[in-house]
A and B are shown apart, each in its own frame.
Chain A
Amino acid sequence: MNNKDSAGTNFKWVGKRTRRPDGPDKVTGRARYGDDMIVPGMLHAKILRSPHAHAKILSIDTSKARAFKGVKAVVTSADIPDHPLTKPPYGPIITDFHDISCNVLAREKVLYDGHAIAGVAATSERIARAAIKLIEVEYEVLPHVLDPLEASKPDAPVLHDHQYTHGVDPEPEKPSNVFRVVTGGRGDVEKGFAGADIIVEREFSSQPVHQGYIEPQACIATASEDDSVELWTTTQGHFVIRAFCARLLNMDMARIRVTASEIGGGFGGKNNIYAEPVAIRLSQMTGRPVRMVMSRSEVFRATGPASGTHTRIRMGAKKDGTITAAEVDIYNQAGAFKGSPVGRSIETFFSAYTIENIRASGYDVCVNRPKVAAYRAPGAPMAAFAAEGTINELASRLGMDAVDIRMKNAVREGDQSLSGIKYGQIGLLDVLEKVKSHEHYSAPLGPNQGRGFALGYWMHGGGLSSVSANLLDDGTIAVATGNPDIGGSRSSMRVMAAEELGIDIEMIKPIVADTGSMGYSHLTAGSRTTFATGMAVINAVREIIDKLRALAAKKWEIPVEEITWEAGQAETGRDGIKALSLKELAGMATKMGGPIAGHSEINAGGAGAAFSAQLVDVEVDPETGFVSPKRYTVFQDVGRAISPDYVEGQIQGGAVQGIGWALNEEYVYDDQARLQNTGFLDYRMPVASDVPMIDAVLIEVPNPNHPYGVRGVGEPPIISAPAAVANAVENAIGITMSSLPLSPPKVLNAIEQGQAEKD
């Protein structure tokens, strides 16, 4: 019906910089985040956490804590149902409720410093904090292992006695930290390498990094006598939280109603449950609401991070830059329980290129660290760090331009990703051409400066979304989705609804509804919300338009087919009939048939691939190894920027997080594997003054599978950032850098070693 022209020139709202609907409440402090909720009669809960990285729990004595004045209940794993381990065949993502149960409250063993052991609910947070110290836990401390490569060795301390490596032949006889080996490939790599003029072989390593959301996890659970539960929590997907809690606690899903608070960042780190089931159990035991707010230190010790990796990679190319073969082994640490995004790593290495011969193996490795969580394009930045670093070296050894070598090998429409997905309309070449023609690409550099370049690829997801749009009799419309608004989804939903209806955006009030009010909606994650939920909004609003046309038909007593919807009103070609506005029709609706609403429940497919290329200039202090990013430009195919301010914000945020990953972020453990830097003071994410303005160049190659051409935008911008920054440092100091983070001591060492080799 309202298909806009592909150049987007007819759009009224799409692509405009509109006032954000969540802005005023956030600026005034009125917006309610996880810990802003107060419920009368509530108790405060705290969690006792393991001081050991790996130990058997011999006994837990909670009697002193229970007897402490003000303590109302104590919960341990004995109060949470156990679940059987998931059996093969395993999908790409494994949700194992045995693991989740053991992570929420440890059973036989603690597997990392900070592993939750028991929860206490008390009349004040101070009492709860004092009481957890009275819980007596007897441990048998076991040797630990933190590094994925070390953990993969046969003599490494084993975390799970029941875990035998899956996907290897012959079947192993001994338990292992390697949960599985995922493989991918095509063609014949030996033949490919034989046809290469030059082969580059390198090893890369990257450290786990935390998502670093500003708002710590926080929730309030209120259990009723009729076995129902209300849960308020900060999450990227309250429907997922409901499903997880119901399954874990053996409850009926419909009895748990979850409301998502405003969310202060997630980046994948708030897709999971941590304290929620503990708060629910404590509320059930006490009959009172239970509030649980994590401290920053708990967030660092027990949530997130993204996997640390170790990668061996080999690539061969012809003199003209054609890449003939690529081979990779990646060890991806999963943390205490299986489930690193190793499959996505494998997908990401080479899928931007038409390499004919590929062999890839990925190892999902358990280590004594918190279970990894999704983080912006899970698995991809570490893969790109290795693959793009290797391609940059190929280019420089061949004396070829870094963009040209990628153009030579770039995938086009009709080519396939490593997992066999055929690309539709994609913007990779448009992105690369834009880089070459941009002024930044050839701008002069100052002393001690270097320029880096890298490309990022990501295959987006669509998935399940529900929307309910209610037309009210004053002509305003409440649009409810089931997706927490992390990156501006309310604004984008409002823009799309207004565009479709042809009315002012202020007539539309977008909200995030609770799980009791809506159909299932998957996480706000995977850059899916504007694409999938946006599509559901468009569907729901189109249903309203159809109903309004029918209403006009009834009023005018003419066939509905004769009525069109243009610029917010029902029109007919007939003379003498005055168009009816949305407002007029809304006023008539209740008297002429009843309320009008539109809804849509979909499984959106075709989100498609997106590419983000980054150019960065850094300056390196040769005496201290300090790296300062001076200029940064991101070129990204965004499909269609529904709200350009947010799209640029996503790109800037992604790039900055990638800069942190590249330069200073890392976990520091002592020799007992206790985490030392559990706050932002010593976990060194970039601060505002550390980064230059991130210029975002938006390239719009519309996605044909979305009415307005939307692609995901949130994930691609982090993917190539570590590789681009590392490449810039390499070019500034003339030394290859293969191990993240590129912190000052490491860079200074490299400079000094380089000098020693020259002398």
Chain B
Amino acid sequence: MVDLRYESPETIEVAVALLAAEGQMARVFAGGTDLLVQMKEELVEPALLVDIKKISETRLIAIDPDQVRIGAAVTGAELGENEQLKAMWPGVVEAVELIGSAQVQGRATIGGNLCNASPAADSVPALIAAEARAVIAGPDGIREVPVGEFLTGPGQTSLGLGEFVTSITLPKPPEHGGDAYLRFIPRTEMDIAVVGAGLSVVLNPDGTCAAARLALGAVAPTARLVEAASEIMVGNKLDDTVLEALSAAASETCSPIDDKRGTIEFRTKVAGVLACRVAKIAWRRAENN
């Protein structure tokens, strides 16, 4: 039985020092919607919780000329209320807004969703599709990693001792760009993705595809970029041939497990279906931008 301590530092430096000193037994505490559940179920038994919500950098949404910075401890509800961000990266925002219920939305953070590193985390495929990067503070200063590389396995990240994510950056959305996220759950809410698909696309002035990134969640140990998607889409319009190829490429990228949430066969099939559906939505958004 471990006695639990709680700290809520106001600066990145103090947070890093606390985390580094406690080592493995420390946990960053953001919204707690994953962490507290895991503690109640006795899956983790930390000795120290470092609440990062008093650190101002983690709570800001900054829309700079060349990029968007979202503090790691910004909640789903706050993202959903930010009209400017919603217009720029609707897919990322809709992914984060799918997390939980109204109550969970008020607590759950984008950084927590990323760092919890669930293969089914909703924000992650959308973030990968959008080429998001995680900004990491640690004993050696600040570093940045693309989200796709940040996640190394189920529940595992590339964070080292004393490190935590301070913010997530997104590029400024390109002209004629659009993104979207869709997930499949057997209910309509309050469930965990059986498959998630995030896609961002940029169109040429002639209406063909200039660039595309498709990422899938819940179909592999970590969210996966469908490498072939770009090749399939670039230079083409979104016709049936392209959709069929996209669907096949999505299914081929899957290496899921059978578990309580879905079967291998089902996940593989539905990944293809969602890839097409999400492509259509992102494409329509790009056409309107």
Are A684 and B187 in contact, CB atoms less than 8 angstroms apart?
A: yes
* Those of B21-69 within 8 Å (CB) of chain A: 40-42
Please report the C-alpha to C-alpha distance between residue A438 and residue B191 in the assembled complex, in whole angstroms.
36
Determine which of A129, A295, A743 lies in contact with B186 in the assembled complex, contact meaning CB atoms within 8 Å: A743
- Is B263 part of the contact surface with A, judged by Cβ < 8 Å? yes
Question: Which residue of B has the minimal Cβ distance to A69?
Answer: B1
> Which residues from chain B contact A127 at a C-beta distance below 8 Å?
1
Using an 8 Å CB-CB cutoff, how does the interface string of A119-140 with B read, 1 for contact, 0 for none?
A: 0000000110110000000000
Q: In the complex where A130-B1, A668-B260, A748-B266 touch, is A681 in contact with B273 (Cβ < 8 A)?
A: no
Determine which of B184, B191, B270 lies in contact with A684 in the assembled complex, contact meaning CB atoms within 8 Å: B191
- Is A417 part of the contact surface with B, judged by Cβ < 8 Å? no
Q: In the complex where A127-B1, A676-B259, A744-B266 touch, is A687 in contact with B273 (Cβ < 8 A)?
A: no
Please report the C-alpha to C-alpha distance between residue A425 and residue B216 in the assembled complex, in whole angstroms.
60
- Is A672 part of the contact surface with B, judged by Cβ < 8 Å? no
Q: In the complex where A624-B270, A745-B265 touch, is A690 in contact with B187 (Cβ < 8 A)?
A: yes
- How big is chain B's contact interface, by range? 20 to 34
Using an 8 Å CB-CB cutoff, how does the interface string of A611-635 with B read, 1 for contact, 0 for none?
A: 0000000000001111010000000
* Those of A703-754 within 8 Å (CB) of chain B: 743-745, 748
Q: In the complex where A130-B1, A745-B266, A748-B269 touch, is A664 in contact with B187 (Cβ < 8 A)?
A: yes
Are A689 and B192 in contact, CB atoms less than 8 angstroms apart?
A: no
Q: Quote the shortest CB–CB distance from A342 to chain B (angstroms).
A: 29
- Is A476 part of the contact surface with B, judged by Cβ < 8 Å? no
- Is A15 part of the contact surface with B, judged by Cβ < 8 Å? no
> Which residues from chain B contact A664 at a C-beta distance below 8 Å?
186-187
- Is B14 part of the contact surface with A, judged by Cβ < 8 Å? no
Q: In the complex where A129-B42, A681-B191 touch, is A744 in contact with B261 (Cβ < 8 A)?
A: no
Please report the C-alpha to C-alpha distance between residue A748 and residue B266 in the assembled complex, in whole angstroms.
8
Using an 8 Å CB-CB cutoff, how does the interface string of B144-182 with A read, 1 for contact, 0 for none?
A: 000000000000000000000000000000000000000
Are A126 and B265 in contact, CB atoms less than 8 angstroms apart?
A: no
- Is B189 part of the contact surface with A, judged by Cβ < 8 Å? yes
- Is A686 part of the contact surface with B, judged by Cβ < 8 Å? yes
Determine which of A130, A295, A626 lies in contact with B184 in the assembled complex, contact meaning CB atoms within 8 Å: A626
Q: In the complex where A130-B1, A297-B41, A744-B266 touch, is A681 in contact with B192 (Cβ < 8 A)?
A: yes
- Is B142 part of the contact surface with A, judged by Cβ < 8 Å? no
Q: In the complex where A623-B273, A682-B261 touch, is A687 in contact with B184 (Cβ < 8 A)?
A: no
Please report the C-alpha to C-alpha distance between residue A664 and residue B260 in the assembled complex, in whole angstroms.
12
Q: List 17 A-B contacts (CB under 8 A).
A: A126-B1, A129-B42, A130-B1, A297-B41, A623-B273, A628-B188, A664-B186, A664-B187, A668-B260, A676-B259, A680-B190, A681-B192, A682-B192, A686-B187, A687-B189, A689-B189, A745-B265
- Is A677 part of the contact surface with B, judged by Cβ < 8 Å? yes
Are B1 and A684 in contact, CB atoms less than 8 angstroms apart?
A: no
Q: Quote the shortest CB–CB distance from A415 to chain B (angstroms).
A: 41
> Which residues from chain B contact A681 at a C-beta distance below 8 Å?
190-192
Please report the C-alpha to C-alpha distance between residue A689 and residue B101 in the assembled complex, in whole angstroms.
11
Question: Which residue of B has the minimal Cβ distance to A685?
Answer: B187
> Which residues from chain B contact A624 at a C-beta distance below 8 Å?
184, 270, 273
Q: In the complex where A624-B273, A689-B189 touch, is A682 in contact with B266 (Cβ < 8 A)?
A: no
Please report the C-alpha to C-alpha distance between residue A686 and residue B266 in the assembled complex, in whole angstroms.
21
Q: In the complex where A129-B42, A297-B41, A623-B273 touch, is A687 in contact with B188 (Cβ < 8 A)?
A: yes
Please report the C-alpha to C-alpha distance between residue A681 and residue B101 in the assembled complex, in whole angstroms.
12
Please report the C-alpha to C-alpha distance between residue A668 and residue B260 in the assembled complex, in whole angstroms.
6
> Which residues from chain B contact A687 at a C-beta distance below 8 Å?
187-190
Using an 8 Å CB-CB cutoff, how does the interface string of A372-408 with B read, 1 for contact, 0 for none?
A: 0000000000000000000000000000000000000
Q: Quote the shortest CB–CB distance from B88 to chain A (angstroms).
A: 28
| Most chain A CB inside 10 Å of its own CB: which residue of B192, B260, B265 | B260
> Which residues from chain A contact B1 at a C-beta distance below 8 Å?
126-127, 130
- Is B262 part of the contact surface with A, judged by Cβ < 8 Å? yes
> 8 tightest CB-CB pairs across the interface, nearest first?
A745-B266, A668-B260, A689-B188, A130-B1, A676-B260, A623-B273, A677-B260, A664-B186
Q: Quote the shortest CB–CB distance from B32 to chain A (angstroms).
A: 16
Q: Quote the shortest CB–CB distance from A64 to chain B (angstroms).
A: 13
* Those of B250-271 within 8 Å (CB) of chain A: 259-263, 265-266, 269-270
Question: Which residue of A has the minimal Cβ distance to B269?
Answer: A748
Question: Which residue of B has the minimal Cβ distance to A666?
Answer: B260
| Most chain B CB inside 10 Å of its own CB: which residue of A129, A677, A687, A745 | A745
Question: Which residue of B has the minimal Cβ distance to A625?
Answer: B266
> Which residues from chain A contact B194 at a C-beta distance below 8 Å?
744
> Which residues from chain B contact A663 at a C-beta distance below 8 Å?
186
If A682-B261, A744-B184, A748-B269 are given as contacts, then 10 extra A-B residue pairs at C-beta distance below 8 Å, sorted by A number, are A297-B41, A623-B273, A624-B270, A625-B266, A663-B186, A668-B260, A681-B190, A689-B189, A690-B187, A745-B266
Please report the C-alpha to C-alpha distance between residue A686 and residue B186 in the assembled complex, in whole angstroms.
10
Question: Which residue of A has the minimal Cβ distance to B190?
Answer: A687
Q: Quote the shortest CB–CB distance from A381 to chain B (angstroms).
A: 20
Please report the C-alpha to C-alpha distance between residue A346 and residue B146 in the assembled complex, in whole angstroms.
62
Please report the C-alpha to C-alpha distance between residue A745 and residue B187 in the assembled complex, in whole angstroms.
13
Question: Which residue of A has the minimal Cβ distance to B267?
Answer: A745
Please report the C-alpha to C-alpha distance between residue A689 and residue B262 in the assembled complex, in whole angstroms.
21
Question: Which residue of A has the minimal Cβ distance to B194?
Answer: A744
> Which residues from chain A contact B189 at a C-beta distance below 8 Å?
687, 689
Using an 8 Å CB-CB cutoff, how does the interface string of B61-82 with A read, 1 for contact, 0 for none?
A: 0000000000000000000000
Q: Quote the shortest CB–CB distance from A26 to chain B (angstroms).
A: 19
Determine which of A682, A686, A689 lies in contact with B260 in the assembled complex, contact meaning CB atoms within 8 Å: A682
Please report the C-alpha to C-alpha distance between residue A684 and residue B262 in the assembled complex, in whole angstroms.
12
Question: Which residue of B has the minimal Cβ distance to A297?
Answer: B41
> Which residues from chain A contact B266 at a C-beta distance below 8 Å?
625, 744-745, 748
Please report the C-alpha to C-alpha distance between residue A129 and residue B270 in the assembled complex, in whole angstroms.
41
> Which residues from chain A contact B42 at a C-beta distance below 8 Å?
129
Please report the C-alpha to C-alpha distance between residue A686 and residue B273 in the assembled complex, in whole angstroms.
24
> Which residues from chain A contact B192 at a C-beta distance below 8 Å?
681-682
Using an 8 Å CB-CB cutoff, how does the interface string of A659-697 with B read, 1 for contact, 0 for none?
A: 000011000100000001100111010110110000000
* Those of B186-233 within 8 Å (CB) of chain A: 186-192, 194
Question: Which residue of A has the minimal Cβ distance to B261?
Answer: A682
Q: Quote the shortest CB–CB distance from B194 to chain A (angstroms).
A: 8
Using an 8 Å CB-CB cutoff, how does the interface string of B266-287 with A read, 1 for contact, 0 for none?
A: 1001100100000000000000
Q: Quote the shortest CB–CB distance from B181 to chain A (angstroms).
A: 16
Please report the C-alpha to C-alpha distance between residue A492 and residue B36 in the assembled complex, in whole angstroms.
41
Question: Which residue of B has the minimal Cβ distance to A130?
Answer: B1
> Which residues from chain B contact A682 at a C-beta distance below 8 Å?
192, 260-261
